[in-house]
Chain A
Amino acid sequence: MTDIPIIEFEHFTFQYFSQAEPTLLDINLKIYPGEKVLIVGPSGSGKSTLGHCLNGLIPFYYKGNIQGSLKIKGQETQDLDIFRLSKIVGTVLQDSDGQFVGLTVGEDIAFAMENDCVASPVMHERVERVAKMVDMHQWQTSSPYELSGGQKQRTSLAGVLIDDVDILLFDEPLANLDPATGKTAIEIIDDIHQQMRKTILIIEHRLEDVLHRAVDRVIVINDGRIIADMNAHDLVCSDVLIKNGIREPLYVTALKYAGIPLTPEMKPGHIWSLDTTGVNERLRAWNRSVTPPEPKLDGSSILRVENLNFSYDGVRPTLKNLDFDIHAGEMLAVVGKNGAGKSTLAKLFCGFEKEDTGALYFRGNSLKGKSIKERAEVIGFVMQNPNQMISKNLIFDEVALGLRLRKVPEEQIRERVEKVLKVCGLLPFIEWPISALSYGQKKRVTIASILVLDPQVMILDEPTAGQDYSHYSEIMEFLRELNALGISIILITHDMHLMLEYTPRSIVLSGGEMVADTRASIVLTTADIIEKANLKETSLYRLAELAGIPDGTQFVQNFIDYERRTVS
Chain B
Amino acid sequence: MKMKLFSYNYEDTFIHSLSGLTKLICFIMLTFAVMFSYDIRVILGVLLFSALILRASKIRWSQIKLMVIYVLIFLAVNAFITFLFSPEQGVQIYGTRHPLFKLFGPFIVTQEQLFYQTTKFFKYASVIPLGIIFLLTTNPSELASSLNRVGVHYKASYALSLTLRYFPDLQRVYHDISQAQQARGLEMGGKASLKDRFKNSLMVVIPLIFSTLDRIEVITNAMDLRGFGKGRKRTWFNSSRIKREDIIALLVSLGITAVTVLVSVFVNHGRFYNPFI
Whether a CB of chain B sits under 8 angstroms from the CB of A425 is: no
Whether the pair B2, A312 counts as a contact (CB closer than 8 A) is: yes
Docked complex: A365-415 residues within 8 A CB-CB of B:
372-373, 375-376, 380-381, 383, 385, 387-391, 401-402, 405-406
Whether a CB of chain B sits under 8 angstroms from the CB of A250 is: no
Whether a CB of chain A sits under 8 angstroms from the CB of B139 is: yes
Whether the pair B184, A91 counts as a contact (CB closer than 8 A) is: no
Whether a CB of chain B sits under 8 angstroms from the CB of A568 is: no
Docked complex: B84-102 residues within 8 A CB-CB of A:
none
Rounded to whole angstroms, the CA-CA distance of A367 and B235 in the bound complex is: 57
Rounded to whole angstroms, the CA-CA distance of A141 and B207 in the bound complex is: 33
- Categorize the interface residue count of chain B: 35 or more
Whether the pair B219, A61 counts as a contact (CB closer than 8 A) is: no
Docked complex: A62-101 residues within 8 A CB-CB of B:
82-83, 86-87, 91, 93, 95, 98-101
Docked complex: A293-335 residues within 8 A CB-CB of B:
312-313
Interface centre among A95, A141, A406, A449 (most CB of B within 10 A): A95
The number of chain A residues with a CB under 8 A from chain B is: 65
Rounded to whole angstroms, the CA-CA distance of A82 and B231 in the bound complex is: 13
B83–chain A nearest beta-carbon distance, Å: 37
Nearest residue (CB) in A for B178 is: A352
Whether the pair B224, A112 counts as a contact (CB closer than 8 A) is: no
Whether a CB of chain A sits under 8 angstroms from the CB of B263 is: no
Interface bits B125-149 vs A (CB < 8 Å: 1, else 0): 0000000000000011100000000
Rounded to whole angstroms, the CA-CA distance of A102 and B161 in the bound complex is: 10
Interface centre among A60, A93, A372 (most CB of B within 10 A): A372
Nearest residue (CB) in A for B1 is: A312
Interface bits A102-136 vs B (CB < 8 Å: 1, else 0): 11101100111111111110011001000000000
Rounded to whole angstroms, the CA-CA distance of A57 and B214 in the bound complex is: 16
Whether a CB of chain A sits under 8 angstroms from the CB of B222 is: yes
Whether the pair A95, B218 counts as a contact (CB closer than 8 A) is: yes
Whether the pair B219, A388 counts as a contact (CB closer than 8 A) is: no
Rounded to whole angstroms, the CA-CA distance of A372 and B215 in the bound complex is: 29
Whether the pair B218, A120 counts as a contact (CB closer than 8 A) is: no
Residues of B within 8 A of A141 (CB): 10
Residues A103 and B141 in contact in the complex (CB < 8 Å), given A61-B221, A116-B227, A387-B211: yes
Whether the pair A388, B177 counts as a contact (CB closer than 8 A) is: yes
Rounded to whole angstroms, the CA-CA distance of A119 and B206 in the bound complex is: 43
Residues of A within 8 A of B161 (CB): 103
Rounded to whole angstroms, the CA-CA distance of A312 and B211 in the bound complex is: 26
Whether the pair A313, B1 counts as a contact (CB closer than 8 A) is: yes
Whether a CB of chain B sits under 8 angstroms from the CB of A347 is: yes
Rounded to whole angstroms, the CA-CA distance of A124 and B235 in the bound complex is: 12
Whether the pair A101, B222 counts as a contact (CB closer than 8 A) is: yes
Residues of B within 8 A of A93 (CB): 218, 221-222, 225
Whether a CB of chain A sits under 8 angstroms from the CB of B13 is: no
Whether a CB of chain B sits under 8 angstroms from the CB of A453 is: yes
A296–chain B nearest beta-carbon distance, Å: 30
Nearest residue (CB) in A for B230 is: A83
Nearest residue (CB) in A for B188 is: A372
Rounded to whole angstroms, the CA-CA distance of A17 and B184 in the bound complex is: 38
Whether the pair B214, A387 counts as a contact (CB closer than 8 A) is: yes
Rounded to whole angstroms, the CA-CA distance of A95 and B229 in the bound complex is: 22
Whether the pair A388, B207 counts as a contact (CB closer than 8 A) is: yes
Q: Which of B8, B183, B211, B235 contacts A381 (CB 8 A)?
A: B183
Whether a CB of chain B sits under 8 angstroms from the CB of A207 is: no
Nearest residue (CB) in A for B233 is: A117
- Interface majority SS (helix, strand, loop, mixed), chain B: helix
Whether a CB of chain A sits under 8 angstroms from the CB of B228 is: yes
Q: Which of A55, A86, A120 contacts B235 (CB 8 A)?
A: A120
Rounded to whole angstroms, the CA-CA distance of A516 and B177 in the bound complex is: 31
Whether the pair A114, B222 counts as a contact (CB closer than 8 A) is: no
Q: Which of A107, A119, A124, A389 contacts B177 (CB 8 A)?
A: A389
Whether a CB of chain A sits under 8 angstroms from the CB of B54 is: no
Q: Which of B10, B139, B183, B233 contacts A350 (CB 8 A)?
A: B183
Whether the pair B227, A98 counts as a contact (CB closer than 8 A) is: no
Whether a CB of chain A sits under 8 angstroms from the CB of B181 is: yes
Q: Which of A57, A60, A86 contacts B226 (CB 8 A)?
A: A86
Q: Which of B8, B221, B229 contacts A57 (CB 8 A)?
A: B221
Residues of A within 8 A of B105 (CB): none
A140–chain B nearest beta-carbon distance, Å: 10
Whether the pair B225, A102 counts as a contact (CB closer than 8 A) is: no
Whether the pair B207, A107 counts as a contact (CB closer than 8 A) is: no
Residues A385 and B211 in contact in the complex (CB < 8 Å), given A115-B234, A123-B235, A450-B184: yes
Whether a CB of chain A sits under 8 angstroms from the CB of B198 is: no
Residues of A within 8 A of B82 (CB): none
Whether the pair B221, A120 counts as a contact (CB closer than 8 A) is: no
Whether a CB of chain B sits under 8 angstroms from the CB of A41 is: no
Whether the pair A391, B220 counts as a contact (CB closer than 8 A) is: no
Whether a CB of chain B sits under 8 angstroms from the CB of A182 is: no
Residues of B within 8 A of A387 (CB): 207, 210-211, 214
Rounded to whole angstroms, the CA-CA distance of A499 and B181 in the bound complex is: 29
Residues A99 and B185 in contact in the complex (CB < 8 Å), given A120-B236, A388-B176: no
Whether the pair A401, B180 counts as a contact (CB closer than 8 A) is: no
Residues A347 and B179 in contact in the complex (CB < 8 Å), given A376-B184, A450-B184: yes
Nearest residue (CB) in A for B237 is: A110
Rounded to whole angstroms, the CA-CA distance of A380 and B180 in the bound complex is: 9
Rounded to whole angstroms, the CA-CA distance of A145 and B207 in the bound complex is: 23
Whether the pair A402, B177 counts as a contact (CB closer than 8 A) is: no
Whether a CB of chain B sits under 8 angstroms from the CB of A159 is: yes
Whether a CB of chain A sits under 8 angstroms from the CB of B239 is: yes
Residues of B within 8 A of A118 (CB): 235
Whether the pair A383, B176 counts as a contact (CB closer than 8 A) is: yes
Whether the pair A114, B235 counts as a contact (CB closer than 8 A) is: yes
Residues of B within 8 A of A127 (CB): 237
Whether the pair B139, A103 counts as a contact (CB closer than 8 A) is: yes
Residues of A within 8 A of B235 (CB): 113-114, 117-120, 123
Rounded to whole angstroms, the CA-CA distance of A106 and B141 in the bound complex is: 12
Interface centre among B2, B141, B220 (most CB of A within 10 A): B141
Whether the pair A159, B184 counts as a contact (CB closer than 8 A) is: no
Whether a CB of chain A sits under 8 angstroms from the CB of B197 is: no
Whether a CB of chain A sits under 8 angstroms from the CB of B81 is: no
A271–chain B nearest beta-carbon distance, Å: 33
Whether the pair A376, B185 counts as a contact (CB closer than 8 A) is: yes
Whether a CB of chain A sits under 8 angstroms from the CB of B28 is: no
Interface centre among B184, B218, B227, B234 (most CB of A within 10 A): B184
Interface bits A197-227 vs B (CB < 8 Å: 1, else 0): 0000000000000000000000000000000
Whether the pair A112, B237 counts as a contact (CB closer than 8 A) is: no
Q: Which of B8, B173, B221, B238 contacts A107 (CB 8 A)?
A: B238
Residues A99 and B219 in contact in the complex (CB < 8 Å), given A86-B227, A112-B227, A387-B214: yes
Rounded to whole angstroms, the CA-CA distance of A541 and B235 in the bound complex is: 53
Residue pairs across A and B with Cβ atoms less than 8 A apart, 5 shown, are A93-B222, A113-B237, A115-B228, A159-B226, A352-B179
What 10 A-B pairs come out closest when comparing CB atoms?
A98-B218, A405-B185, A99-B222, A110-B237, A115-B227, A376-B183, A402-B184, A83-B230, A112-B226, A391-B203
Given contacts A83-B227, A115-B230, 17 further A-B contacts (CB under 8 A): A57-B221, A87-B227, A95-B218, A98-B219, A99-B218, A99-B219, A99-B221, A101-B228, A103-B140, A103-B141, A113-B237, A114-B234, A120-B239, A351-B183, A373-B183, A388-B180, A391-B202
Residues of B bordering A, CB below 8 Å: 1-2, 8, 10, 139-141, 161, 165, 168, 173, 176-177, 179-187, 202-204, 206-208, 210-211, 214-215, 218-231, 233-239
